[in-house]
Structure 1
Amino acid sequence: MEAKLKIVAFLLLLCHCSRGNAEYCKLSDLAVTQTVLPGKQVNGYPEYSVAVENRCICTQADVKLACSGFNSSLHVDPFVLQPDGDGKLCTLNGGRPVGMGSEHAVKFDYAWSSKFSFEPVSSTIACS
């Protein structure tokens, strides 16, 4: 009986996955964690560490973050975070997909007089 329950549970999970997980994923599945690095400063500005983690089973690509007026005394790799021409949004990870989990989180450090929000504004969710 227990084996049958496991099989039924597995089939339900398989069915759930095959319907496409895009309907279960949201922009809010992108979690931004930002911390000040104690004792670290660059040109007199505090240094911040940022991690953007996708908590959805599907990848999220073309991620745009709010970053109005973003500036940094510390070089930020433009393939990781690139301000768009309007100065209000930044492209994360060069537009490439961000996979699920902390091991796929996109991380960068910056230094400035205050924190930027880096709130997710848009993404393209892709499930296979």
Structure 2
Amino acid sequence: MMAMVTKHFIAILIISLISKGFCACSLDNININTIRSGREIQGKTEWNVTVINNCNCPQKLIKLTCKGFQTVENVDPSILSKVGDKCLLISGNQLTKSASVKFSYAWDSAYIFWPSESTIVGC
């Protein structure tokens, strides 16, 4: 009887570890790429930003660092809205597995965005 309980416990432990490993996500799973578009807006270089969720689960309430971020090009606030030193991505809505969101801005040099917060959904 004890051997049976031990086998079940080990099986549950292994399944738990495998499922946690599959769904274990961190801010490192949010990749941000910034490239020049080749355009100029009001004499400033336009930059295209792509944010990709490389987590196996959807993430929401994704916030990026934004301290010092400036642009002469309007960014749709439903895609990126600045609140203090952070920017909320897609109004806090879910970014599903492997999905991406894009926006552009114009300034003298590229701004390096970093993910600062997110909430993992349904893992």
Query: Which amino acid is 2:73 matched to?
Result: L
Task: Provide the identity percentage.
Answer: 31
TM-score by structure 1 length? 0.77
Q: Which residue is 1:41 aligned to?
A: 40
Taking the aligned partners of 1:92 and 1:22, their CA distance within structure 2 comes to 25
TM-score by structure 2 length? 0.80
* Aligned length, in residue pairs: 109
Query: Structure 1 residue runs of 4+, over 6 Å off?
Result: none
- Residue 110 of structure 1 aligns to a residue in which SS? strand
Q: Which residue is 2:70 aligned to?
A: 71
Q: Which residue is 1:25 aligned to?
A: 25
- Residue 53 of structure 1 aligns to a residue in which SS? strand
Deviation of 1:19 (Å): 3.8
Question: Aligned pair in 2 of structure 1 residues 67, 57: CA closer, same or farther (>3 Å)?
Answer: same
Unmatched segments (≥5 aa) in structure 1: 1-14
Taking the aligned partners of 1:55 and 1:110, their CA distance within structure 2 comes to 23
Taking the aligned partners of 1:21 and 1:27, their CA distance within structure 2 comes to 15
Equivalences for 1:1-128 in 2 at 5 Å?
19=19, 24-38=24-38, 40-84=39-83, 86=84, 88-101=85-98, 104-128=99-123
Taking the aligned partners of 2:81 and 2:51, their CA distance within structure 1 comes to 14
Taking the aligned partners of 2:105 and 2:31, their CA distance within structure 1 comes to 18
- Residue 118 of structure 2 aligns to a residue in which SS? strand
Unmatched segments (≥5 aa) in structure 2: 1-14
Q: Which has the larger radius of gyration?
A: 2
Taking the aligned partners of 1:89 and 1:42, their CA distance within structure 2 comes to 24
